[in-house]
Amino acid sequence: MICDATIVGHLLAAYHVIQDSYYSLVLKAFISLSTFCLIGLILAYHAVEIQLFAIDNCVEDWRIAISWKRSFQLSLEILICAVHPIPGDSFFFIWKTELYDGQTVSEEPVPVDILLSIPMFMRLYLIARVMLLHSKLFTDASSRSIGALNRINFDTRFVLKTLMHICPGTVMLVFTLSMWIITSWLLRACESYFDHRHENILNAMWMISITFLSVGYGDIVPNTYCGRTIAIAVGCMGAGITALIVAILSKKLELSRAEKHVHFFMMDTQLSKRLKNAAANVLRETWLIYKYTKLVNKIDAGKVRAHQRKFLQAIHSLRKVKMGQRKLAENQNTLVDIAKVLSSVCVVALQYIHTLL
């Protein structure tokens, strides 16, 4: 319903369909009918929410559940979903704007339907509600029970965070492509009356892409404040999504728990070998210093200084290897690993006690 109302309404505004034709009237009537159905479904949803609140809190009067917050939310949702192109004769208004050169002022007649069709994209907030109501986390009784014990609210935020944890790449791809298409349509609707290059949707998509990537070649620019607002929003969205992509990639490149154990084992083996070599070098240089100072008739000062220098280097290498082993042990023994080991030990101990009893 949201897609039909939004796309059809935007086609009326963006593709310059004859506003007073029979087809335009039918499409607008379909939009109005679907809008009324949508408002009815929203009222039914909030009615069910009020009934559930009354049952959970053992309230007999349902009017107690209607707070200022719920009333404001219901009014805002009805206002958002009620905006749509109205069937009947079309009206135009003069849109006056200053072009990108800063000198030319353009005035174009623009249908009012464009002002009524652009806000219809705000209905997309209902997608998050549909995802919540059809999520297995929300419909599964066991997960709801575990969440209640841990004081977790199964809201839209929790479902989105769970999806980002399970399939972050897919979520970011779908969100980026959806916003790319939607903002391209919005930019085309705002700018097509003042710049004929924006009449081609591919040019609008090109501008959204370079703005999203913070490149901005300047070959295509917005003229209206509507288009400039969309460009600013796309730039901010691009910066945020880029940061999220970096976080997702860093998480993907991070080693798993088993891989970390293998890596720590290999590093510990290498450090043990280096420790043995450093200790052997210390003993060797100690013996050579003793040999060239106590067991010879004539002391060679050059050889003694050379072996003393190697002796100090061996000691520094030994200390460095020991410091590396200490850091490796600190990184390996995390709090999570210690907690898992303790829990496994407790389970084994309880099983052993049950076998004895």
| CATH code of residue 344 | 1.10.287.70
Tell whether 20 and 76 lie within a shared domain.
Answer: yes
CA–CA dist 357, 350 (Å, integer): 11
Tell whether 204 and 124 lie within a shared domain.
Answer: no
Encode the chain (357 residues) as per-residue pLDDT tens digits.
344 434 444 454 444 444 556 677 788 888 889 999 999 999 999 998 888 888 877 777 778 888 888 899 999 999 999 988 887 766 777 877 777 766 667 777 778 888 888 888 889 899 888 888 888 777 777 777 777 677 777 778 888 888 888 888 888 899 999 999 999 989 888 888 887 887 788 888 999 998 888 887 877 888 888 888 898 999 999 889 888 888 888 888 887 777 777 888 888 889 889 999 999 999 999 998 888 888 888 888 888 889 899 999 999 999 999 998 888 877 766 655 666 667 777 888 888 777 776
Q: By the 8 A CB rule, do 311 and 282 touch?
A: yes
Residue 247 maps to a domain:
yes
Tell whether 295 and 309 lie within a shared domain.
Answer: yes
Residue 142 maps to a domain:
no
Question: For residue 105, how many other CB atoms are within 10 A of its CB?
Answer: 9
Tell whether 271 and 339 lie within a shared domain.
Answer: yes
Tell whether 177 and 208 lie within a shared domain.
Answer: yes
Rounded to 5 degrees, what are φ and ψ at 150? -95, 10
Tell whether 286 and 246 lie within a shared domain.
Answer: no
Tell whether 294 and 197 lie within a shared domain.
Answer: no
Give the count of domains, the chain.
Answer: 3
Residue 285 maps to a domain:
yes
pTM higher than 0.85: no
Q: By the 8 A CB rule, do 292 and 303 touch?
A: yes
Q: By the 8 A CB rule, do 190 and 224 touch?
A: yes
Tell whether 177 and 201 lie within a shared domain.
Answer: yes
Q: By the 8 A CB rule, do 40 and 77 touch?
A: no
User: 266 lies in which domain range?
Assistant: 257-356
Tell whether 1 and 67 lie within a shared domain.
Answer: yes
Tell whether 8 and 112 lie within a shared domain.
Answer: yes
Find residue 93's DSSP bridge partners.
110
Under 8 Å CB-to-CB from 273, ≥6 apart: which residues? none
